[in-house]
Amino acid sequence: MATIKEVANYAKVSVATVSRAINGNGYVKQETRKKIEEAIQALNYKPNEVARALNMKTSKMLGLLLPDMSNPFFTVVARGVEDKAMERGYHIMIGNGAMDETKECNYLSMFKVNQCSGVIASQLSTAHAFNQLQTLNTPYVLIDRVYEGAACVEADHIQGGRLQAKTILEGGATSVLLLHQNLDYTSFKARFDAAKKVLTEARCHVVTLEEEHLNAETFVAHIQREAIDSVICSNDVMAFKVMKWLNNHGLAVPEAVQVIGYDDISFASMFIPSLTTVRQPAYALGQYAAQQMIDELEGIAPKTSKKLKVEIVHRSSTRRLKQ
Domains of the chain, earliest start first: 4-47 (1.10.260.40), 58-155+283-308 (3.40.50.2300), 157-281 (3.40.50.2300)
pLDDT the model gives residue 51: 47
215-269 tens-digit pLDDT: 999 999 999 999 999 999 999 999 999 999 999 999 999 999 999 999 999 999 9
Distance of CA 258 to the CA centre of its chain: 27
pLDDT the model gives residue 244: 97
Q: Is the previous residue joined to 254 through a cis bond, with omega within 30 degrees of 0?
A: yes
Alpha helices in the chain (DSSP H): 4-11, 15-23, 30-43, 49-56, 72-87, 101-113, 127-134, 157-170, 186-201, 216-225, 236-248, 282-297
Kindly list the distances between the CA atom of residue 139 and the CA atoms of 33, 202, 275, 288, 295, in Å, as whole numbers in the listed order: 21, 44, 38, 15, 11
What is the average pLDDT across 182-192? Answer: 91
The sign of the dihedral angle between the CA atoms of 219, 125, 188, 311 is: negative
pLDDT the model gives residue 322: 59
33-85 tens-digit pLDDT: 888 888 888 888 876 554 454 444 557 899 999 998 889 999 999 999 999 99
Predicted model pTM: 0.79
